[in-house]
């Protein structure tokens, strides 16, 4: 089972919106939208920001949104802030979990 | 609030068994799945497997032949054993509360395990 494919890096300016893609196969995603996204700062444990495709944990900013079309899931961060500079990972569950390759977001 | 803490040797010799324990505090280990996830230095995340309090398990197919995850509900702990360790198993190992397919909402701080002679 190979990792889901994400762009290695995405750049954006404060206030802009960026989208991170996460591509796999139909067997990676299955019939259910069990895609989650994680934000990870250097030296810290990952933190869930999206689960079940588009749901946000309680208290999380609505600047983060998730979606899926076919075999590609996407994370959009709107109104980009300097604090959003971090690594982001997607993850899908279809009988077992598979992570994406990870994307480093840089806020210019 | 629920907190997780990993513990175990930070150095393992090649071909030996890597063993870690995750202690759950602030809540019961019952009713949730519990996962181990690892991250080699400077690299991405890899799910290792999960266990339910009944002892039911599910493992990453690529590690299945070497992994055992067990649970001790009396101690509110779950454990990881990875046999025949190699340098490729050097990583930061995290334990996390598993939402049954919906990912992980609570993570430990992680513990670095180095496989080296």
CB contacts of B59 in chain A (<8 Å) are 96
Structure tokens at A4: 């889901």
* pLDDT on residue B31: 86
Whether pLDDT at A76 is above 90:
yes
Provide the pLDDT for residue B59: 97
Contact A48 B44 (CB under 8 A): no
Which H helix or E strand runs over B4? strand B3-7
d(CA B97, CA B106): 5
- Averaged over A46-56, what is the pLDDT? 96
Mean pLDDT score across all residues of chain A: 96
Which single residue is written with the structure tokens 């080296």? B116
pLDDT digit string, tens, across residues B14-66: 999 999 999 999 999 998 999 999 999 999 999 999 999 999 999 999 999 99
Any B CB within 8 A of A6 CB: no
Q: Which two tokens stand for residue A26?
A: 């139909």
Q: What is the pLDDT of residue A30?
A: 86
Looking at residues A55-59, what average pLDDT do you find?
94
- Can you give the pLDDT at residue A1? 76
Find the farthest-apart pair of alpha carbons in chain B and give their distance in angstroms, rounded.
Answer: 40
pLDDT at B41: 97
Q: Which contacts of B46-51 are long-range, i.e. CB under 8 A and separated by 24 or more positions? A: B46/A99, B46/B91, B47/A91, B47/A96, B47/A97, B47/A98, B47/A99, B48/B80, B48/B82, B48/B93, B49/B80, B50/B98, B51/B78
Min Cα–Cα distance to chain A from B84, Å: 21
> Average pLDDT for residues A77-84, to the nearest whole number?
97
> Which three-class secondary structure state does DSSP give residue B89?
helix
**How far, in Å, CA of B50 to CA of B34, rounded?**
5
B71-94 pLDDT, tens digit per residue, is 999 999 999 999 999 999 999 999
* Average pLDDT value for residue range A74-90: 98
- Which pLDDT does position A74 carry in this prediction? 98
The pLDDT value recorded for residue A32 is: 84
* DSSP H or E stretch at residue A107: strand A103-107
String of DSSP letters for A38-87: EEE-TTS--EEEEBTTTB--TT--TTEEEEEETTEEEEEE-S--GGG-EE
Tell me the residue length of chain B: 117
pLDDT at B102 over 80: yes
Q: Are B94 and B39 contacting, i.e. CB atoms less than 8 angstroms apart? A: yes
- Answer yes or no: do B44 and A101 touch at CB < 8 A: yes
Specify the pLDDT at position B57. 97
């Amino acid at each position: 089972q190979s990792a889901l494919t994400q762009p290695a890096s995405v750049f954006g300016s404060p206030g802009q919106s960026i989208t991170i893609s996460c591509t796999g196969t139909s067997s990676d995603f299955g019939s259910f939208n069990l895609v989650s996204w994680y934000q990870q700062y250097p030296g810290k444990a990952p933190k869930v920001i999206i689960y079940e495709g588009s749901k946000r944990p309680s208290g999380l900013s609505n600047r983060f949104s998730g979606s899926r079309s076919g075999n590609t899931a996407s994370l959009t961060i709107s109104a980009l802030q300097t604090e959003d500079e971090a690594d982001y990972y997607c993850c899908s569950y279809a009988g077992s979990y598979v992570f994406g390759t990870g994307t480093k977001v840089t806020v210019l | 609030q629920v907190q997780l803490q990993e513990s175990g040797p930070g150095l393992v010799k090649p071909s030996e068994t890597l063993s870690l324990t995750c202690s759950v505090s602030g809540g019961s280990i019952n009713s949730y799945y519990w996962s181990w996830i690892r991250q080699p230095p400077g690299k991405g995340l890899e799910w290792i497997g999960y266990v339910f309090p009944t002892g039911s398990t599910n493992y990453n197919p690529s590690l299945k032949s070497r992994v055992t995850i067990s649970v001790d509900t009396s101690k509110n702990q779950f454990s990881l054993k990875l046999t025949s360790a190699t340098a490729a198993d050097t990583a930061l190992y995290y334990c996390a509360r598993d939402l049954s397919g919906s990912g992980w909402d609570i993570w430990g701080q992680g513990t670095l395990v180095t496989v080296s002679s």
